[in-house]
Amino acid sequence: MGGSLRTTGQLICMALLAAVTCGACTPQAPGTAARNQERGVTSAPAPPAEAGPALPTQAEPERATVEATPLPVWMPSVPELTPEMVDKARRQADAALAQGHLYDSAEAAVPLYLAVLAVKPRDARARRGLDKARQLLRSQAMELMARPDDQRQALAEAAERVSVAIALAPEGKAEQALQAQIQQARRVLALNRAGEAALRRDQLGEAGGGALGSFRAALALAPEDSRALQGIAAVQSGLIRRAELAATRADFDAAAAWLDKAGKVRGGPTLVDAQARIEAMRAAQLAALRDGGLRDLSSPQGLKAAREKLEQALRIAPPGDPTVAILRQRIDLVAHYGSFRPGQVFSDALQGGGRGPQMIVVPHGGFQMGAGDAEPGASDAERPQHYVRFDRGFALSITEVTVAEFGRFVEAAKARPRATRRGHSVVYDERSGNFVRRSGVDWRSDYNGAPAKPGNPVMHVSVRDAEAYAAWLSEQTGRYYRLPSEAEFEYALRAGTSGRYPWGNAGVPPPLSGNFTGSEDVSPSGRHWNNAFVGYGDGFWGAAPTASFQPNGWGLHDMAGNLSEWVADCWHASYRRAPADGAAWYNPGCRQRVIRGGNWANAPEQTRAAWRQSQDSDVTSARIGFRLVRGI
C-alpha cells in the first residue's frame, strides 16, 4: 500500500464492523500490556460472577479466592481506504492470511479485510477471508491451551487470539466456548500454582487447605488436569517422606499415622510400595537390634546391653514379631544356661544337616597385647603394648576353616566368593619362585592354583567372604558366629605366654609345632627359603591340611603358621586409643583390614606373636585364610 494507507485509532463500524463489540473478556498474562497495546488489545474488568473457588492461605485458608483475570478486548487499527485501493488491499490481506499474519498490525489480514468491508460491505472475498481468519484464530488458541510448558504465557496468547475472534463474531458460540475454557483454564492454573507454592513451603494441607486443598479445587474444575493430578501425587509423596523420616527415627506410630494420611489423599501402588519400604525399615532395625543383642551376649557388654536392645525392639516391633522372640529366647538362654567350661569342645548342628566347625572355649582373662619397646623386629604398628582383659570367655575354631566347610556354605547359599567373581587370585609360582596373579583360581584352589583337598584350609577368600560364611553359619545354627577381633586372636595365639614368638623367645620353633618357613623345607622343584628358621623343617611347601601339627596350650591348631588369618578389625597404624576390652576396633566402611598369625611363606619376623599387617578387604591370596569366634 506504500504511503496510500493511513492507520487511524478509531473503529470503523460500517457493515460488518457494526457487529464488532467488546463484551467478552479473557485473562491477560502479566508483562504483556505494552505488547497488547501495540496490537490493539486492552483489558476490561471481569464481571463479579467470574470469581473462582477458594484458595488456602496460612492466615485464612477458607476465604482466599482466585480472582478471574480480566480478558483482553481487541481494538483493531484499521487502514483507511479509498475505492481505488480496495483491490490492492484485498490482495495484501490474502497474502497476510496465507502467511499467518492475522491481526497484530494494520498490515495484517483481519484489519485489511475490515478496511475492505468498510468500503465494500458486501465483499464476499473479504468475508471469506475473515471466516478463515476466525478459524485460524480458534485453532491457534486451542493449540496454545494444550501446550504443557509455560502455561501462563500460552493462555495469555490464546486469550488474545480469542478476543480478536470475538470482535469479529460477538455471538459466535465457538468463540464464547473458547473464552469460557480459557477463563476456567486460568483459574485451574492459578490453583495449581498456589498448590505448588504451598508444596515448596511444605504446607501439604493434610489437615485442610494447603497444597492439597488447592489441587483438589483445581480438579473440581478440571477433573483430568494432569498438573493437578501430579500435585496430588506430590502431596502424597510429601506425606510418605514424613512417614519415612519418622521410621528412620524408629517412630513407627508416627510413620503409620503419616501413611494413613497419605492413603486418604489417594491409593495406588506408590502407597503400597511405601508401606513395604517402611516395614522393611522396621525389619532392618529389628534385625540390627537382634544382631546387636546377640553380639552383646558374646562380648564384654554382656546381658545388660542385650536386654536394653530387647527393650528398644519391643517398642517398635508389631505383636508376635519373630525377631524379637529370637532375641528374648537367646537372652533367657544366656541368662540361665549360657555357661561353658574352659577348654570345652563342641560343634553346632546345621539346619541343612551336618555340623559346623569344631569350637573350643577360650578362658577369660587378660594379657599384654602388642610388642614391647625393645622387641627385635617389631614395628610401630605393634605398639604401644597395652593391657586387654576379657571378662567373658569365647569359643574359637580349633582349626582354620577348611575347603569342605566353606564349600558347604557356597553350595547352600549359592554364594559367589570374590575370587570366583573376579576370575583370579594370587598363587605361588614354582617356576619363578614368586607370588603371581593367576586366572581361574578361587576358594577351591590350593597354594599353587591346583585343586585343593577338602581338609586343607580354605584360601583365596576375602574378608567379606569370611564374614559372609560367618553370617550363614549364624543362620544355620541360631548362634552368633563372627571373625575374631585382633585382640582375641593374639590372646588365643599366645595362650597364656608372653614371649616374642607364640612358643616363647627361642629363635627356632619346637619340632613339628607348626607350618613355618624352615630352612629344611624344599619346594617340588628343589627351592629353599632365603629367609627362614634355620634348622627347622615341617615337610610342607604350601599350606598343610588342618590339624597336621601339635595344638598350642589352649588346644588351638595353626594359630602361628599354615595361613595368616583375617580378623574383624580395621587397620590402624598403632594401638593408640585401641579398645581395652578386646572388642574389634572397627570403623564402618573401612577398606584396609588386619591379618594376624604367620603363614607357610612368612619370614621369621612375621611369625612373631605381635606381628600384624594391613590388607585391602578385597585381597585374595594363597597365604590368607580365617577361623571364627562363636559367642557363648
Q: What is the 3-state secondary structure (H, E, C) of 159-210?
A: HHHHHHHHHHCCCCHHHHHHHHHHHHHHHHHHHHHHHHHHHHCCCCCCCCCH
pLDDT band per the 50, 70, 90 thresholds, residue 300? low
The pLDDT score that the predictor gives to residue 408 is 97
For residue 180 the three cell numbers come to 469460557
Q: How many Å apart are CA 296 and CA 500, to the nearest integer?
A: 32
pLDDT of residue 320 exceeding 70, the answer is yes
> Three-class SS of residue 101?
coil
Query: What are the backbone angles phi and psi of residue 442, rounded to the nearest 5°?
Result: -150, -160
What pLDDT shows up at residue 331? Answer: 84
**Cβ(471)–Cβ(462) below 8 Å:** no
pLDDT at 56 over 50: no
Residue 446: partners with Cβ closer than 8 Å, 6 or more residues away? 452, 453, 456, 459, 542, 543, 622
Nearest to 466 by CA among 595, 274, 337: 595
Structure confidence by residue, pLDDT tens digits, 448-483: 999 999 999 999 999 999 999 999 999 999 999 999
User: CA-to-CA distance for 290 and 333, rounded, in angstroms?
Assistant: 14
Continuous H helices in 353-423: 403-413, 418-422
Determine how many CB atoms are found less than 10 A away from the CB of residue 256: 14
pLDDT of residue 530: 93
pLDDT at 13 over 60: no
The gap from C-alpha 329 to its chain's centroid, in whole angstroms, comes to: 34
pLDDT digit string (tens) for 62-101?
A: 333 455 566 678 887 888 999 999 999 999 999 999 999 9
Task: Let me know: does 129 contact 183? Beta carbons within 8 Å.
Answer: no
Q: Distance between CA atoms of 317 and 290, rounded to whole angstroms?
A: 11
Count the alpha carbons within 13 Å of 218 in the hemisphere toward its beta carbon: 29
Radius of gyration of the chain (CA): 43
d(CA 79, CA 93): 12
> What pLDDT is stored for residue 67 in this prediction?
54
Cα gap 465→603, rounded to integer Å? 26
Give the tens place of pLDDT for each residue, 590-612: 999 999 999 999 999 999 999 99
Is 0.85 surpassed by the pTM of this model? no
pLDDT attached to residue 42:
53
pLDDT of residue 1: 37
Of the two residues 155 and 198, the one the predictor is more confident about is: 198
Residue 148 confidence (pLDDT): 79
Q: What is the pLDDT of residue 22?
A: 31
Q: At residue 325, does pLDDT exceed 60?
A: yes
Of the listed ranges 96-100, 185-189, 227-231, the least confidently predicted one is: 185-189
pLDDT for res 77:
80
Cα-Cα-Cα-Cα dihedral of 119, 125, 127, 131, to 10°? -150
What pLDDT score was predicted for residue 11? 34
pLDDT mean across residues, the chain: 87
For residue 428, the cross-strand partners are: 435
Q: DSSP secondary structure string, 130-161?
A: HHHHHHHHHHHHHHHHH--SSHHHHHHHHHHH
Q: How much is the pLDDT for 31?
A: 39
Q: Can you give the pLDDT at residue 569? A: 98
**Cβ–Cβ < 8 Å for 1, 125:** no
Burial label for 632, CB within 10 Å (0-12, 13-18, 19+), is: buried
Q: Which residues contact 8 (CB under 8 A, 6 or more apart)?
A: 77, 78, 80
Q: Which CATH architecture has domain 361-630?
A: Alpha-Beta Complex (3.90)
Cα–Cα dist 329/307, whole Å: 11
Which one, of 173, 79, 167, 105, lies nearest residue 130 by Cα? Answer: 167
pLDDT over 90 (residue 60): no
Ordered by start, the domain boundaries in the chain are 2-195, 224-338, 361-630
Q: What would the mean pLDDT of 262-266 be, rounded to a whole number?
A: 93
- Tens of pLDDT, residue by residue over 341-374, are 788 999 999 998 999 999 999 988 899 999 999 9
Quick check: 499 pLDDT over 80? yes
pLDDT at res. 38: 45
Higher pLDDT, 47 or 354: 354
Residue 40 has pLDDT above 60, yes or no: no
pLDDT on residue 172 = 86
The number of C-alpha atoms within 13 Å of 502 and in the hemisphere containing its C-beta is 32
Distance CA(37)–CA(47), nearest Å, equals 22
Residue 4 reports pLDDT greater than 50: no
Q: Which residue has the cell 576370575?
A: 423
Residue 566: phi and psi, rounded to 5, are -70, 140
24 band by pLDDT with thresholds 50, 70 and 90: very low
